[in-house]
Amino acid sequence: MVVKQKQNHIAYRCPHCNTTVFGFVGKFALSADMLRLKCPCGKSELTMTYTQDKKIRLSVPCLFCASEHQFVITQNLFFDRDLFLLNCSYTNMDICFIGDKEEIDRALEENEKELHRLLETLGLSSMEQLRGESEEEEDDDVPYLSDAQIYDIIRFLITDLSEEGEISCPCKSGHYECEVAPHGIRVYCPECGADHLFRAESVADAQEFLHCSHIDLLPRE
């Protein structure tokens, strides 16, 4: 009896040349070793390996962050779904597309529209400007993080302090959010607008805030 191997398509967008890179992955091939899906420009690659418990670990280049994102998913999610998406934790934008080729094409088309909407909202004309890589004079007002892990660290801190009642603002709303802003991450109250800016130029900077025990949000001048 011939056993039909499970297989599926996968795609990502290269953060260096914006090319959509496609691959076709078979379960037997993946079980042999690490698989690499390289962009023709040679500056990025997506890698796939099995974990010890036979799940699939993916390292995916990100359009928005200087570092790659790490994901671990089950084989069923990888091989049996018509479409499965993995996103950037910083922007919540999809960066990896797994499934049927036609479904991926439709998702990529929608993703392209979302990218254009994001650029229009930020007043930018290209992904290079969003990442702070424009060859022209760099815009200090472009929100960009050198490492996606920074956002995760500070978001964890904000959630923890908020639950403990250790964030205060003039209106005492008790509801606080954070967003990427020029030069760092802004923690703010959506009710009164009071805020505090965390400098976040490196993971080391963000780690320092894990020792923060209280945050006072101040009205914006």
pLDDT in tens, 138-165: 444 444 454 555 666 677 777 778 888 8
| Residue of 85, 70, 84, 73 whose CA lies nearest to 30 | 73
Residue 16: what pLDDT? Answer: 86
Residue 86: what pLDDT? Answer: 94
Is residue 125 domain-shared with residue 163, that is, in the same domain?
Answer: no
Is residue 106 domain-shared with residue 192, that is, in the same domain?
Answer: no
Residue 142: what pLDDT? Answer: 42
| pLDDT-based confidence at residue 201 (cuts at 50, 70, 90) | low
| pLDDT-based confidence at residue 83 (cuts at 50, 70, 90) | very high
**CB count, 10 Å around CB of 118?**
15
Q: Say yes or no to pLDDT of 183 above 90.
A: no
Residue 136: what pLDDT? Answer: 43
Lowest-confidence segment of 44-48, 135-139, 202-206 by average pLDDT? 135-139
Is residue 117 domain-shared with residue 11, that is, in the same domain?
Answer: yes
- Per-residue pLDDT of 18-67, as tens digits, reads 889 998 887 655 555 678 889 888 889 999 888 888 888 999 998 887 67
Is residue 62 domain-shared with residue 166, that is, in the same domain?
Answer: no
Residue 143: what pLDDT? Answer: 43
Is residue 70 domain-shared with residue 162, that is, in the same domain?
Answer: no
Top-ranked range on mean pLDDT: pick from 68-72, 150-154, 180-184, 200-204: 68-72
| Residue of 91, 109, 94, 99 whose CA lies nearest to 179 | 91
Give the total number of structural domains in the chain.
2
Mean predicted confidence (pLDDT) in 83-109: 91
142 occurs within a structural domain: no
Residue 59: what pLDDT? Answer: 93
- Is 189 within 8 Å of 173 (Cβ atoms)? yes
136 occurs within a structural domain: no
Report helix, strand or coil for 39.
coil
Residue 134: what pLDDT? Answer: 45
Residue 155 domain boundaries: 148-216
Is residue 173 domain-shared with residue 124, that is, in the same domain?
Answer: no
Query: If you average pLDDT over every residue of the chain, what do you get?
Result: 78
Is residue 16 domain-shared with residue 57, that is, in the same domain?
Answer: yes
Is residue 39 domain-shared with residue 117, that is, in the same domain?
Answer: yes
- Tell which of 102, 130, 158 closes a domain: 130
Location of structure tokens 């976040």: 200
Q: Say yes or no to pLDDT of 1 above 70.
A: no
Is residue 171 domain-shared with residue 68, that is, in the same domain?
Answer: no
Lowest-confidence segment of 51-60, 111-120, 136-145, 194-203 by average pLDDT? 136-145
Q: Say yes or no to pLDDT of 217 above 80.
A: yes
| pLDDT-based confidence at residue 114 (cuts at 50, 70, 90) | confident
Secondary structure tally for the chain: helices H, strands E: 6, 13
Is residue 111 domain-shared with residue 39, that is, in the same domain?
Answer: yes
Is residue 122 domain-shared with residue 92, that is, in the same domain?
Answer: yes
Torsion angles phi and psi, residue 57, rounded to 5: -100, 130
Is residue 38 domain-shared with residue 110, that is, in the same domain?
Answer: yes
